[in-house]
Amino acid sequence: MKSKVRKAVFPAAGFGTRFLPATKAIPKEMLALVDKPIIQYGVEEALASGCEEIIIVTARGKSAIEDHFDISYELEASLEKRGKKELLQICRNVSNMVDLKYVRQKEAKGLGHAVLMAKDLVGNEPFAVILPDDVIDAPVPCLKQMIDTFDQVQGSILATMVIEGPAISAYGVLDGNALPGNPKVIEARGMVEKPKFEEAPSKNAIIGRYILTPAIFDLLEKITPGAGGELQLTDAIKGLLKTEKVYGLTFDGIRHDAGDKLGMLKATVDFALKRPDFGPPFREYLKSLSI
């Protein structure tokens, strides 16, 4: 019987140092992209892709994430009293979206360690990992594209995109070949976390969406610190290759690195221009700039 991807894990325990000072007291996952915190885009993507359970790996100082997806009685009562029906609905939609489960990562030991914290909540089934910094704008949700591929190959899937030049060093990089007749699916031979530009095995960067088989947890328990002295998810996935097939999927869509200041600005412009309520005047404003 084919297994179904029902659970999505969101590592959200990092410090968000790339966005200081904004992230000194606010979790980076709560930074607003137009008018929604970036983590909400990821949660909506997971639900639109068929996931039913959302697991968030949090840490100290991240309680705003829990509050955001919870009911805010005082706010709702106030909006109701003032007849602000639309806003009330927006707030209720967020708290009704899904019941989330939370698990804490006590120490910032790296992405691999954060995913390991979800072991008991995930159990023995394939699951998705979504890195909330990576906001992906796609006609078919990126995770849905990956789940469709998973359904065909029944192996772990990593989202990939081509990154030109030295910027590749900021990513995990896949080594492998496209499947015959399916150039978007790359069968992995190896992978390396944050290689030097000269040593990168390809231009195929791993982006923050993964579907992993539960075998990953044993490997996550065994890995030793890798790039940057952190326990790296990429190193555990590389270990998975010894016993299972792993694939990269070149997804259709535009990926924004919303955990980066310039990336967030670009995402803001793109998403704001698409808004029916204020996209047109925003476009006019941008056109009026003498740049």
- Contact flags string 224-243 toward ligand G1P, x per CB under 6 A: --------xxx---------
- Least Å distance, CB 120 to ligand G1P, is 23
33 SS3 class: strand
Q: Is residue 171 involved in binding ligand G1P (CB under 6 A)?
A: yes
User: How does DSSP classify residue 23?
Assistant: T
Q: For residue 205, state whether it binds ligand G1P (rule: CB under 6 A).
A: yes
Cα–Cα distance measured from residue 78 to residue 75, given in angstroms and rounded to the nearest whole number: 5
Contact flag: residue 131 with ligand G1P (CB under 6 A): yes
**Closest distance between ligand G1P and the C-beta of residue 49, in Å?**
18
Residue 42 touches ligand G1P, criterion: CB under 6 A? no
Determine contact, residues 57/117, Cβ cutoff 8 Å: yes
247 binding ligand G1P? (CB under 6 A): no
Nearer to ligand G1P, 155 or 248 (CB): 248
- Residue 206 or 223: the one with the smaller Cβ distance to ligand G1P is 206
Q: Shortest gap between Cβ of 227 and ligand G1P (angstroms)? A: 8
- Tokens representing residue 36 in the block: 């929604």
Residue list 93-112, contact with ligand G1P (CB under 6 A): 111
Residues in CB range of 67: below 8 A, 6 or more apart: none
Q: Which is nearer to ligand G1P, 147 or 207 (CB)?
A: 207
Cα–Cα distance between 45 and 54 in angstroms, integer? 11
Query: In Å, how far are 34, 178, 254, 260, 282 from 167, measured between CA atoms?
Result: 26, 22, 17, 13, 31
CB 215, min distance to ligand G1P, A: 19
Q: What is the CA radius of gyration of the chain?
A: 20
Please report whether residue 134 would count as binding ligand G1P according to CB under 6 A: yes
What is the spatial distance between Cα 223 and Cα 4, in angstroms, rounded to a whole number? Answer: 27
| Residue number of the CB atom closest to ligand G1P | 172
Nearer to ligand G1P, 28 or 68 (CB): 28
Name the amino acid, one letter, at 191: M
Q: At closest approach, how far in Å is the CB of 112 from ligand G1P?
A: 8
DSSP E strand stretches across 59-99? none
Six-digit token string for 195 = 């290689």
Interface positions with ligand G1P (CB under 6 A): 111, 131, 134, 171-172, 193, 205-208, 232-234
